[in-house]
Amino acid sequence: MEKNIIKVLKFGGDCLNGSQNILKVVEIIISEKSFPVVVVSAMEGMTDLLINGINKAKGKETNVSDTISVLTEYHYNVAQESIKNDKVFNKTIQEITVLIKKVERLLYGVCYTEEITDAVRAYILSYGERISASIISGVLEDNGTQSNVVETDKIGLITDENYENATVDLEEFKRNFNFLAHNIFNSGVIPIFTGFFGSTPEGKVTTFGRGGADYTASVIAFGFDATELEIWKLDNGFTSADPDFVNNTNVIEKLSYFEAAELSYFGKKVLHPLTIEPIAPLEIPISVKNLLDPKNKGTLILPDAYIEENIVKSISQNENISMIRIHGTGIGYKPGLIRNIGDALSASNINIFATVSSQTTINLLIENKDAEDAVEILNSFKGKIIEKIDFVRNIALIAVIGEGLLKKRGIFGRILNSISNEKVNVEMASAGASEVAIYIIVPKDELKEVINALHKEFIG
């Protein structure tokens, strides 16, 4: 694929919230000077509607009809408000009616069997993106621009079998997609890719979790060897802290891949955590842009490090964690123990956010929802080496992020001093695991004070 001609544009669900925003999306696509490759999320609130519809469907036919009624009315109204040409409107309505009918049949299947597999659940959830892609294609046609919907479970976008948080086999995808990518580009017809999902080698739909369309867009950019990836949202990009915690935050104009990857795990997730991975080998830049303020530069994410004078670019947090402590006097001398623990938790789809160990304790940071299950699994390890397992709730993980942190003297001291001045005890601190981040664990009820103190100290 040629360089300097293809740009991937991803539009999140908030950008597809109503006809006014959709018309702005279409205007951006049409005005693009490069060949635009579009990736869309489901329209705002529609994935939640489908999740609730699945949960309420078991044994209750009226709940299925209620879900389908809301799904139909919302999308029909958006199409009606966005498409003026009767012929195009009727064609689009026919397309989305077929899609909604499939959702209805699947939900009635859940209703009558009163059970659902992970694969069927993922398949139902994929219809939010399929419907939104069809509407965007219709609005483009209404504005004189030709486009085709490309459903990502039908193009060889192969994943593992984790139906809720799948990962793409990039090498397999590249082999499968290369021919199609050339055909799409040579056709000159704008492709509208469905975000959020791919498929297993057997063809079963898998999803990428919340914000998964970002990851899809990155994979598609990798497949096209694109010149740039633009992520469109309703804000200006990454900020120096969560605006819900700090009043005077700044938009960060430039980030490195590593900084953006760290930030994607914290606070208000601007990007899906896996967004950087597919495009990193190709060094494709990412721009995070605001649909309501398209001339704003937003945040530019580049492969190379960009060191600011004050080093720290963002203070971010994760409030959704618990710390599991595994105690034993001989833990530090037991080869392979951490690997075995990781394998046991991974087998139950429990992700370890971070690990800090000493000679007598292994500390695991785990999402709150997984903490009790993780303790139950790890109790099977208790014996001669592991003497006790417990977990700590009501904590929060703070990340101080910026290129050059580990090379700048005094940063760690300033962090601890700022927290000490707030009379807050640090549960744990870690530097060196990442070249661009220092991690601090503090009591959750004192998080806001600590974030504001650190922001004041480093950013102002």
CATH of the domain at 372: 3.30.2130.10
* Measured CA distances, 83 to 62, 76, 133 (Å): 31, 10, 14
Query: What is the C-alpha to C-alpha distance for residues 63 and 333, in angstroms, rounded to an integer?
Result: 57
Query: What is the C-alpha to C-alpha distance for residues 41 and 136, in angstroms, rounded to an integer?
Result: 11
Range of the domain at 157: 6-302
Phi, psi of 222 (to 5 degrees): -60, -45
Q: Indicate the pairing of strand 197-199 with strand 190-194.
A: unpaired
> Is the residue at 267 inside a domain?
yes
Do 31 and 104 lie in a common domain?
yes
Quick check: helix, strand or coil at residue 384? coil
Torsion of the alpha carbons at 428, 433, 435 and 441, rounded to the nearest 10 = -20
> Is the residue at 158 inside a domain?
yes
Do 41 and 186 lie in a common domain?
yes
Query: What is the C-alpha to C-alpha distance for residues 303 and 3, in angstroms, rounded to an integer?
Result: 17
Do 82 and 138 lie in a common domain?
yes
N-terminal to C-terminal alpha carbon distance within the chain: 45
Which of these three, 254, 273, 302, is where a domain ends?
302
Q: What is the pLDDT along the chain (460 residues), one digit of tens a residue?
A: 445 589 999 999 999 999 999 999 999 999 999 999 999 999 999 999 999 999 999 888 999 999 999 999 999 999 999 999 999 999 999 999 999 999 999 999 999 999 999 999 999 999 999 999 999 999 999 999 999 999 999 999 999 999 999 999 999 999 999 999 999 999 999 999 999 999 999 999 999 998 999 999 999 999 999 999 999 999 889 999 999 999 989 999 999 999 999 998 877 779 999 999 999 999 999 999 999 999 999 999 999 877 777 889 999 999 989 999 888 887 766 777 888 888 889 888 888 888 877 788 888 889 898 988 998 898 888 876 788 888 888 899 999 999 988 888 888 899 999 999 999 988 888 876 778 999 999 999 999 999 999 999 999 8
> Is the residue at 307 inside a domain?
no
Which of these three, 249, 268, 302, is where a domain ends?
302
Q: What are the helix and strand counts (H, E) for the chain?
A: 14, 16
Cα maximum dimension of the chain: 75
Quick check: helix, strand or coil at residue 40? strand
Do 277 and 324 lie in a common domain?
no
> Is the residue at 191 inside a domain?
yes
Q: What is the pTM of this model?
A: 0.91
Contact of 154 with 194, CB cutoff 8 Å: no
**Closest to 220 measured CA to CA, from 262, 178, 252:** 178
Do 282 and 328 lie in a common domain?
no
**Closest to 447 measured CA to CA, from 417, 414, 425:** 425
> Is the residue at 261 inside a domain?
yes
Do 287 and 376 lie in a common domain?
no
Q: Check residue 346 and give its pLDDT.
A: 86
DSSP 334: -
> Is the residue at 308 inside a domain?
no
Domain count, the chain: 2
* Measured CA distances, 394 to 143, 316, 378, 454 (Å): 52, 17, 21, 20
Q: Taking phi first (over 0 means left), then psi (-120 to 50 degrees means alpha), and beta for anything else, what does residue 432 get? A: left
Q: Check residue 2 and give its pLDDT.
A: 45
Do 246 and 369 lie in a common domain?
no
**Closest to 154 measured CA to CA, from 117, 123, 187:** 123
Which of these three, 282, 302, 322, is where a domain ends?
302
Query: What is the C-alpha to C-alpha distance for residues 41 and 22, in angstroms, rounded to an integer?
Result: 12
Do 224 and 352 lie in a common domain?
no
CATH of the domain at 151: 3.40.1160.10
Do 52 and 201 lie in a common domain?
yes
Alpha helices in 312-410 (DSSP H): 337-346, 371-378
Do 34 and 128 lie in a common domain?
yes
> Is the residue at 326 inside a domain?
yes
Do 252 and 130 lie in a common domain?
yes
Q: Spell 316-329 as b/e; 16+ CB within 10 A means b.
A: bbbeebbbbebebe
> Is the residue at 69 inside a domain?
yes
Do 38 and 61 lie in a common domain?
yes
Query: What is the C-alpha to C-alpha distance for residues 355 and 439, in angstroms, rounded to an integer?
Result: 12
